[in-house]
Structure 1
Amino acid sequence: MTDDLLADFVRADREQGLGTYGIHVHREGRPSVEHRFRSDDRVNLYSVSKTFTAVAVGIAESEGRLGLGDRVIDHFPELRPLAADGFESVTVHHLLTMTSGSGHEWFADRRVDAADLLHEFVAEPLVAPPGRRFAYTGSGFYALGRLIARVTGANVRDYLLPRLFRPLDLHNPAWHCCPLGFPFAESDLFLRTGELSRFARLLLQSGVWEGEQVIPSDFVRRMATDRVDMKEGDAHTDGYGLGIWLEPGGAVRMHGAYGQIALIDEGRRAAITVTAHTEDETAQLTALHDLVLARLD
């Protein structure tokens, strides 16, 4: 349903052409509020997919399959001869925080010409020592998806099916794959607005869904506290955590291209989820903050 809470955002979407598909607001202890601007289809979440991959890593850690301090190359010993100088120091944590120091830049909207994208990533020369430089790219999260497959025997989508998707009743989600058949991991997971809102609510609730601890609570906490600085931020960005953006007021944000956004504000006990196709993500994010999030007070 729609109520007065969303009236100004709906008006701003119409007047500014924000391109919103749907918005869903969860407030703990109160009925959810939502508004649809078009049919409720599953859409590409783009880089919001990174947060799902990060959660897969956290679950795998809790199962003893890997550690955030593990050196990535130790899980792929056959790639040692290909590894660039210094890559042997790159850890799982570096990939989660996009601080590997690798000069490799790739996103899922680009054609994969390499015979194996993971091999190309491992071989790419480092441009900074691991842990020293934040660089936004999809390469490291693709590598994390491959790591999940290596340590669990299942690709990241199949690994999450019984552990995350089914508990949240996210039936059979599509996740586009590379030429070798591995999900892109950094992008191209498809969900509806309301389905993404369940995942946002799960993080708000410290990984608990209907009494079940779906994601380890300590990992959910670390997602927001293992912070790295960025060279450039904006009014709504104050660093990066474990697969999630950090905001100055304490909220965290999943953010995919063209305005796929989930804002999680622990202080307000609220989660706001949007799917869209907008060419002005700054205007969309500002409207969400000024016309929705700020009014939850």
Structure 2
Amino acid sequence: MRSETVYTHYRNTQAETHIVKINSCTKSFISALICIAMDQGLLPEASTPISTFFPQLASDPDPRKPAITLEQLLTMTAGFNWDEFGGQNSFPRMTRTEHWVDFALEQSLRHKPGTHMEYNSGVSQILSAILMQHTDMSVAAYAERYLFGPLGIHDYEWEQDPQGVHTGGFGMKLLPADLLKFGQLFLQQGRWEKEQLISSDLVQRSTQPFIAVSPPNRGSYGWHWWVDQYEPAKVNENIAGSPALDNTSAEQHRPLHYYYARGFGGQYVYVVPELELVAVLTNDKRKKEKPPLDVFPKWIVPELWKLARL
């Protein structure tokens, strides 16, 4: 697939050459590395229970916990009692402990695993630990060999927890241009130049909707990717006596599907397969002004939808 940059704008010119925090976009990188390890046979099937990686969970008083699967970690449906941004069970509290992974694993279950999506950077740290455990190298070293290196990503920083496990849910710094490469890799079904870095099967599986998310979030969640669609209001729908949509109208109202990595503060990587398009949005800290969170769904994707239907 031939790629072409159609629009670039840096409000702050330094953003082009200075790596910045991508925050929770890190989660989608962890997902990609998990997929690569699965392809290589270093990690087992997504249905594998968590007790395979952490045998100590077999003695947990809640029999549901050791049966949590790798896929439920990836889809954040493990069921842990977790409040991401505050309280006793949160990622800020986790980062103040001496062992982040143990903290995440010790949390009680609020929901039956597989039934409810609860945003949780703790499960991302568990995934990072699993990756380190089964590749026999640091997560960053594994990324350099099998993801960053092939993509030509050389300038980055990545935080680690007290045990040396690279942060699974946040803590990575990258250039916007390298975020674009990452999105392009997924647009190309895991292929980069002449090399298949991730199998197309796992690219599709990881970016398909797995479970609906709760407001104020939109759409669904996959394997550490957000999944959504744009569909304009169907004017004739639910109006008594209005004629059924003909084939042309149905085509005109067909939704535009996309998936994306999302990081706190306005960091996004959007992939729109139908249009063979990747869009990267970053934010450069506007002090007290809150970054707009709906730029793409509110302003960009409606215009893309019009182009797709021309």
Say whether residues 1:270 and 2:277 are aligned partners: yes
Matches of 1:152 and 1:238 in 2, distance apart? 33
Which residue is 1:140 aligned to? Answer: 123
CA contact (8 A) 2:23 2:267 kept: yes
Which residue is 1:238 aligned to? Answer: 219
CA contact (8 A) 1:105 1:137 kept: yes
Q: Residues 167-188 of structure 1: CA distance to partner in whole angstroms, max 9, x if unpaired?
A: 1110052111112221111111
CA offset at residue 63 of structure 1?
A: 1.2
CA contact (8 A) 2:81 2:107 kept: yes
CA offset at residue 280 of structure 1?
A: 3.3
> Does the C-alpha gap of structure 1 residues 126 and 241 become closer, same or farther in structure 2, counting only changes over 3 Å?
same
Which residue is 2:295 aligned to? Answer: 284
Q: 2:193 aligns with which of 205, 210, 217?
A: 210
CA contact (8 A) 1:79 1:119 kept: no
CA contact (8 A) 1:75 1:147 kept: yes
Which residue is 2:139 aligned to? Answer: 156
Which residue is 1:3 aligned to? Answer: none
CA offset at residue 112 of structure 1?
A: 2.1
CA contact (8 A) 2:91 2:121 kept: yes
Please state whether the residue corresponding to 1:251 is helix, strand or coil.
strand
Q: Residues 265-286 of structure 1: CA distance to partner in whole angstroms, max 9, x if unpaired?
A: 0011100111114623334332
Which residue is 1:22 aligned to? Answer: none
Report the residue type matching 1:274 in the other structure.
L
Matches of 2:220 and 2:214 in 1, distance apart? 9
Please state whether the residue corresponding to 1:272 is helix, strand or coil.
strand
Which residue is 2:105 aligned to? Answer: 122
> Does the C-alpha gap of structure 1 residues 115 and 267 become closer, same or farther in structure 2, counting only changes over 3 Å?
same
CA contact (8 A) 1:28 1:269 kept: no
> Does the C-alpha gap of structure 1 residues 31 and 257 become closer, same or farther in structure 2, counting only changes over 3 Å?
closer
Q: Residues 28-55 of structure 1: CA distance to partner in whole angstroms, max 9, x if unpaired?
A: 6544431121112111111110000001
CA offset at residue 120 of structure 1?
A: 1.7
Say whether residues 1:47 and 2:24 are aligned partners: yes
CA contact (8 A) 1:84 1:123 kept: no
Matches of 1:114 and 1:29 in 2, distance apart? 44
CA contact (8 A) 1:85 1:126 kept: no
Q: How does 1:183-262 map to 2 (within 5 A)?
A: 183-232=166-215, 237-248=218-229, 249-262=256-269
Q: TM-score, normalised by structure 1?
A: 0.83
Which residue is 1:15 aligned to? Answer: none
> Does the C-alpha gap of structure 1 residues 184 and 83 become closer, same or farther in structure 2, counting only changes over 3 Å?
farther
Say whether residues 1:34 and 2:8 are aligned partners: yes
> Does the C-alpha gap of structure 1 residues 84 and 178 become closer, same or farther in structure 2, counting only changes over 3 Å?
farther
Please state whether the residue corresponding to 2:212 is helix, strand or coil.
coil
Please state whether the residue corresponding to 2:47 is helix, strand or coil.
coil
Q: TM-score, normalised by structure 2?
A: 0.80
Matches of 2:95 and 2:29 in 1, distance apart? 22
CA offset at residue 166 of structure 1?
A: 0.4
Matches of 1:193 and 1:175 in 2, distance apart? 15
Matches of 1:28 and 1:246 in 2, distance apart? 25
Matches of 2:156 and 2:62 in 1, distance apart? 36
CA offset at residue 238 of structure 1?
A: 1.2
CA contact (8 A) 2:19 2:155 kept: no
Tell me which moved more, 128-137 or 32-41: 32-41
Q: CA RMSD in A?
A: 2.2
Give the total of aligned pairs.
268
